[in-house]
Structure 1
């Protein structure tokens, strides 16, 4: 990695961390703000959250093409402006139509930002540094969210709408800071994807090219199950299970969420050292087993009666194990998406994977809350245990489709070294003077 690439990457990471810090001020309180502070009711609050997800689903299919045609930087700036407008609009809106319109702008903006930043990180990294770059991004995201949420909790007052206006104002400013920061980044002229599959496909055939890539399709299926089994359950299904079945208080639930963030922040770089040089498919398979244990702990927390401390400990351990698994995925999944992508379609591949994540994040809460709400908690945890085991099976199957270099970047480096060595020896032989 050149000095210029390193400087560009640091600016991208700084802007991303500040944006996550701003998100932390509002993410935990959006439902309460719309339903209670603005007095618009639970129905409007649910519709607001639904609009955030739908707006992302609408724009993501077109985001990849825009990134590959225009470059990730201008697309990221457009996303930050839209998100800033949406966030400030939420803070100032007091009627349902304006709240929904603001949520649509915020959801669309965030959806555009994510694959744009991922593509910028790919452009500013190499296959060997990419895992650490994405792990750093994930670490800073969670640190920013955690710190922002902590400070936001000290500032918020449910009886004062003005306190929420401040929170949304801070978030809006942080989106603009992200946009201003990435605007100063000097990207390389072309992405560093040395091991990508070459292609002459035009952007018009981007989706067709992606769907013909069986390894990428398989990774998208695996990604959907991953996001469904973990992220798609945090804010609804697992939270509902914790309060309705394990009978923990909302304060304890907040402690469990903090434990999840703390596990990521504490273990991220330790885990990175352990997984570097390992086969990516095996790392993802191990995550499936860890999350299987996590869901078993959650199931046991609902079966322990008369020992609330034990039940609470089991539930918190569920969130901790999720955090460990997440820290293993951050240096694994996103770099694999980049290494599977043809150089001309990196934005398309990142956007497609973000779309898969959004679909899982939209369907996961719906199904989870429905099952727990109907009293089918046993069915709920059994389903998630099966999904976690499915992650392991799908990851091992994916590993058989990947090349050795795609599954382990260190193999690619060794292959290049072996290819360069004979050429260097031949060059040395040509320079040896021949006796007359």
Structure 2
């Protein structure tokens, strides 16, 4: 109730800006141009399709093609991808020095290198373990550096009033492409190790084509960072946001780790239920994300992000309550609650990046986005171990802990996260192409 009252009232620490007038949903052509144009949209589609072909089956590749076993394959993936997080600060500085499409293309090309190492690993003498670790490292670097680089491109190219919708459109396109790729790969994996090698090769080709489409665009920021100058607005609030993001980021592995384990281990239902929930989540995200983000644009982004935490927390408690029904009723209840969980996920992804963009100076956007992605990456890396450990203690330990942690994060966001600035503040507005959405309103 305290959070609900806070959501309804301004924070005492800083004045909350008045809500923006409702934004109309832009036409498809306007949205494509705001997102980088047709060439960039095709590159995103090809890149996401390639990711969908391999990413869900990378563990299976380590087991069946490299013959590493389940434990060594999983450990190698974690080590490689955690090491890949160390590149994010350097990527942020590169973005702040003006790189935009070059950073996106680099994130695609480094994954080409990762897939090539993956293909070569079983052919090298000795154990393919180190080859698999290096491949996971390069793939992790590309996967972690892509989100801030892409957000920086959209921030630079899109008109402020279209930025939230353009970011949401990119996420929808990526979800659709990865879903289509995963569906194709699911059918293809029946062909065994040869099919997995083929999928890896096609993935590398997709990344290469996507990079070739992006590189000629040569989009750069007009106001690169100046050494010794710090123009981050609300720096302390951004640090709070990075920390509060950790429990939020657990929501991504709730769908892929916690729910399947909960359904199979605790509720003893068929794995098809978790597969159906995953497909339903993907369809809902693709179909409704832009509309939900445009609806949320009438509210302050900080309030929207806090509300997403509240919705996610309620969904976690809903999963716990549904599990008490037992049998088919429990599985059906979990499936129904997953719709609420999907709504919270959409609200979270639609407001978090937008809040960072709206509260950070254009010449520091790379550092802010990279720190946030580092926070998300740490949460994603830590959550499988923590989620499964909590589930081993009982259903209540898992879902109640998740709900409490997310509620605390939502309260921290509402109290200390940065607010968007409105015209008339002490800081002069930058040029139109670099203004934040809040400054344009």
Identify the TM-score tier after normalising by the shorter chain. Answer: 0.7 to 0.9
- Please state whether the residue corresponding to 1:291 is helix, strand or coil: helix
State yes or no: 1:378 paired with 2:411.
no
Relative to structure 1, the CA distance from residue 65 to residue 370 in structure 2 (aligned partners, 3 Å threshold; closer, same or farther) is same
Relative to structure 1, the CA distance from residue 402 to residue 182 in structure 2 (aligned partners, 3 Å threshold; closer, same or farther) is same
Contact 1:25 1:152 in 2 (8 A): yes
Relative to structure 1, the CA distance from residue 312 to residue 204 in structure 2 (aligned partners, 3 Å threshold; closer, same or farther) is farther
State yes or no: 1:139 paired with 2:175.
no
CA displacement at 1:130 relative to structure 2: 0.8
| Higher radius of gyration, 1 or 2 | 1
Among 332, 339, 347, the residue aligned to 2:358: 339
State yes or no: 1:277 paired with 2:298.
yes
Among 121, 133, 144, the residue aligned to 1:111: 144
- Please state whether the residue corresponding to 1:236 is helix, strand or coil: helix
- Distance in 1 (CA, whole Å) between partners of 2:181 and 2:35 is 25
Relative to structure 1, the CA distance from residue 91 to residue 300 in structure 2 (aligned partners, 3 Å threshold; closer, same or farther) is farther
Among 71, 83, 90, the residue aligned to 2:111: 83
Contact 1:18 1:178 in 2 (8 A): yes
Deviation string for 1:167-198 (max 9, x for gaps)? Answer: 1112211211221121122426526xxxxxxx
- Please state whether the residue corresponding to 1:341 is helix, strand or coil: coil
TM-score by length of 2: 0.82
- Distance in 1 (CA, whole Å) between partners of 2:132 and 2:438 is 51
State yes or no: 1:326 paired with 2:337.
no
Q: How does 1:24-35 map to 2 (within 5 A)?
A: 24-35=52-63
What is the match of residue 41 of structure 2? Answer: 13
CA displacement at 1:251 relative to structure 2: 2.3
State yes or no: 1:61 paired with 2:89.
yes
What is the match of residue 368 of structure 1? Answer: 387
Among 167, 190, 205, the residue aligned to 1:173: 205
What is the match of residue 66 of structure 2? Answer: 38
- Distance in 2 (CA, whole Å) between partners of 1:319 and 1:152 is 25
Relative to structure 1, the CA distance from residue 7 to residue 272 in structure 2 (aligned partners, 3 Å threshold; closer, same or farther) is closer
TM-score by length of 1: 0.83
Contact 1:267 1:324 in 2 (8 A): no
Q: How does 1:158-307 map to 2 (within 5 A)?
A: 160-187=192-219, 190=222, 202-203=226-227, 213-228=235-250, 230-305=251-326
Deviation string for 1:285-318 (max 9, x for gaps)? Answer: 221222122112221233222xx22111222234
- Distance in 1 (CA, whole Å) between partners of 2:36 and 2:438 is 27
Deviation string for 1:56-91 (max 9, x for gaps)? Answer: 211112111122225123232222111012123324
What is the match of residue 148 of structure 1? Answer: 181
Among 357, 369, 379, the residue aligned to 2:376: 357
CA displacement at 1:404 relative to structure 2: 5.2
Relative to structure 1, the CA distance from residue 68 to residue 404 in structure 2 (aligned partners, 3 Å threshold; closer, same or farther) is closer
- Distance in 2 (CA, whole Å) between partners of 1:265 and 1:352 is 26
What is the match of residue 428 of structure 1? Answer: none
CA displacement at 1:393 relative to structure 2: 1.5
- Distance in 1 (CA, whole Å) between partners of 2:440 and 2:91 is 32
- Distance in 2 (CA, whole Å) between partners of 1:212 and 1:394 is 14
RMSD across aligned positions (CA) = 2.8
What is the match of residue 402 of structure 1? Answer: 419
Contact 1:256 1:316 in 2 (8 A): yes
- Please state whether the residue corresponding to 1:284 is helix, strand or coil: helix
Relative to structure 1, the CA distance from residue 323 to residue 18 in structure 2 (aligned partners, 3 Å threshold; closer, same or farther) is farther
Relative to structure 1, the CA distance from residue 202 to residue 410 in structure 2 (aligned partners, 3 Å threshold; closer, same or farther) is closer
Relative to structure 1, the CA distance from residue 290 to residue 156 in structure 2 (aligned partners, 3 Å threshold; closer, same or farther) is same
Q: Does 146-155 or 296-305 show the bigger shift?
A: 296-305
- Distance in 2 (CA, whole Å) between partners of 1:260 and 1:153 is 18
Number of equivalent positions: 396
